[in-house]
Amino acid sequence: VSRFNDITMAPPDPILGVSEAFKADTNEMKLNLGVGAYRTEDLQPYVLNVVKKAENLMLERGENKEYLPIEGLAAFNKVTAELLLGADNAVIQQQRVATVQGLSGTGSLRLAAALIERYFPGAKVLISSPTWGNHKNIFNDARVPWSEYRYYDPKTVGLDFDGMISDIKAAPDGSFVLLHGCAHNPTGIDPTPEQWEKIADVIQEKNQIPFFDVAYQGFASGSLDEDASSVRLFAARGMELFVAQSYSKNLGLYAERIGAINVVCASSDAAARVKSQLKRLARPMYSNPSIHGARIVANVVGSPELFNQWKEEMEMMAGRIKSVRQKLYDSLCAKDKSGKDWSFILKQIGMFSFTGLSKTQTENMTSKWHVYMTKDGRISLAGLSSAKCEYLADAIVDSYH
Ligand code: PMP
C-alpha cells in the first residue's frame, strides 16, 4: 500500500492543460490559441535571428559554465534594468534599483512574493479581475493574502476604470497593487496615459506600493520604450515599486527562463539592503539562476547592432499579430449578421484578445470547432495565422449565437 494514498490527483493547469488537450486532438483543422507563444504564419515556433547570432557569439567565445552569483549575471542585470527604466533614468543613475536575475517572469514574481511575505506580514496584494491565471497561485503558495480589484467591464468589453479606482481606494493603506505594465493578460485592455496618472495618484494617496508585471515589453506597441512608459511614469514620481520582467515573449526565450525582479527604492542604501535580502531568499530556493538566457539578453541588448536587429524582429512579430487581429475583425464583421459591434477586438492590444465568449461557448469552440483556448474566453492571436482567420470567425460566430 502506498504512503501517497492521501495525495489526490491535481487538476490540469488551466493554461498549460489546454496544450495537452490540443496535442491529443487528431482533427486537421485544430488550432491552439491557448498558450501565449508566438508562431509564424505557418504556425511554427520561432527562434529570433538575434538569438541565434548571440548564441553563435557565445560558442565562439567558448564561455565556461561556472556558477553565477546568487543575483545572476552582472551584465544581464545592468541591461535589463536599463531596458526597463531607460539608461539615463535618475533611479539608475542614483543606484536606487535592486535588480536580481529571476527564473523568468514567474520566478521573479515568486521571489518578490517571498520578500513581501517576509517583510510586509499581512499586507495584501491587489490583483486585477481577471488576471493571468498563475498570479493567484504564486501569491497563495507564498502565503501572501490577495484580493481583486475590478478591471474588466463585460458590457463594453473595455476597462472598468471607475471600478478599478474605487476598489484600490477601498483597499487598506500600504497594500501592494499588481499592475500589468502593458498588454494586460488576458483582456488586452490597457489604461490610457491619463488613466495611468490617476491610478498613480490614488496609489500614492493610499501609500500603497505598485508592483508591475512586465511580461510583454515591446510586444504591445512594437516599441520597447513606449511599452515601459507606465513603469517610468510611476518611477518619475519618486515612488518605490516592484517590477518583474520576462524575456519569454519579446525575445522568444520561453524555455530559457530568463527575467528579473527590480525593486526601485527611495535610496541606494535601501536598494542595497533589499537586494541582499532577495539573495538571501533565493539561495535556499534555487541557489543561483541559469546562465544561458542571461548571456543571450546581455549580448543582444548590449550590442547596438544586435539591439537594432532585435527591435526589427519584434516589430515584425507585433506587426503579424496586428494584421491577424485586423483580419479576424474583418472576417467577424463579414460573417456575423446579428449587428454585434466587434470593434473591441481592434481596441485590444498585445498577444491576446478577450472575446467575451462564456465558458459554455468556449466549450463549443473546442468540441465542435477544435479551437483550443482558455475557458475565460481569451484567445492568443500569436497562435493564429491569416489563413485561419475565417475559420476562427466561423467558429466564434457559431459559438456566440
Ligand atoms: N506575467 C504575465 C502577465 C504573463 O502573461 C506571463 C506569461 N504568460 C508571465 C508573467 C510569466 O511568464 P514567464 O514565466 O514565462 O516569464
Render pLDDT for 196-207 as a digit per residue (tens, 0 to 9).
999 999 999 999
Phi, psi of 209 (to 5 degrees): -115, 115
Give dist(CA 358, CA 381) in Å, integer: 18
Please provide the average confidence, as pLDDT, over all residues in the chain: 96
> Which atom of ligand 1 lies closest to the CA of 107?
14
Give dist(CA 61, CA 57) in Å, integer: 6
Residue nearest to ligand 1 atom 13, measured at CA: 105
Global pTM reads: 0.95
Residue 126's nearest CA partner among 144, 110, 153, 149 is 149
Grid cell for residue 189: 485592455
- Give me the mean pLDDT over the 16-24 stretch: 88
Q: Which residue has the cell 515601459?
A: 228
Predicted confidence at residue 36, as pLDDT, reads: 87
Active site residues: 132, 213, 249
E strands within 219-376? 241-246, 258-264, 352-354, 371-372
Task: Answer whether residue 221 shows pLDDT above 90.
Answer: no
DSSP state of 188: -
Per residue in 362-391, pLDDT (tens digit) is 999 999 999 999 998 999 999 999 999 999
Q: 363 alpha carbon to ligand 1 midpoint, in Å? A: 25
- Give me the mean pLDDT over the 221-232 stretch: 95
* Cβ 39 vs Cβ 382: under 8 Å: yes
Amino acid at 178: L
Q: 44 alpha carbon to ligand 1 midpoint, in Å? A: 20
- ipTM score for this prediction: 0.99
Residue 333, classified by CB atoms within 10 Å of its CB into exposed (0-12), middle (13-18) or buried (19+), is middle
Q: Between vectors from CA 153 to CA 152 and to CA 154, what angle results, nearest 5°?
A: 110
Q: 186 alpha carbon to ligand 1 midpoint, in Å? A: 11
Instruction: Determine if ligand 1 sits within 6 Å of the CB of residue 128.
Output: no
Task: Answer whether residue 16 shows pLDDT above 90.
Answer: no
